[in-house]
Amino acid sequence: MTATTRSSAALKYTLMRLGVFAACFVVLYALVHFGLLPRGLGRANVPWVLLLSVVVSAPLSFVLLRRQREAMSAQIAEKVGSAKARLEANRTREDGA
């Protein structure tokens, strides 16, 4: 894999996660606007919908973005493994000197 492929998996996952949050926000705001969900207290309507969107989008992202999350974690594990290998190579080179 190239460096752009590695970064694009993390970027793709992040953008998709933001997309799920934004979709939840729009749907929940519409539901609150039309009275299907309770409004916040006073002028706290937008913070209420933001909080509700976080609560709803978290489990949705966990289920819907599993494949992207696994691909990203595999790339991170690969990068950590190569960093460990380089560190071990440096240690053995220092021991040899």
* CA atoms of 9 and 73, how far apart (whole Å): 9
Residue 64: per-residue pLDDT:
95
Spans of the chain, pLDDT less than 70: 1-7, 94-97
Q: Model's pTM, two decimal places? A: 0.74
Is 24:61 a contact under the CB 8 Å cutoff?
no
Query: In the numeric block, which tokens belong to residue 29?
Result: 């705001």
86, 90, 91, 94 alpha-carbon torsion, rounded to 10°: 170
Residue 1: per-residue pLDDT:
53
Residue 40: per-residue pLDDT:
80
* CA atoms of 76 and 30, how far apart (whole Å): 38
Sign of CA dihedral 28, 32, 34, 35: positive
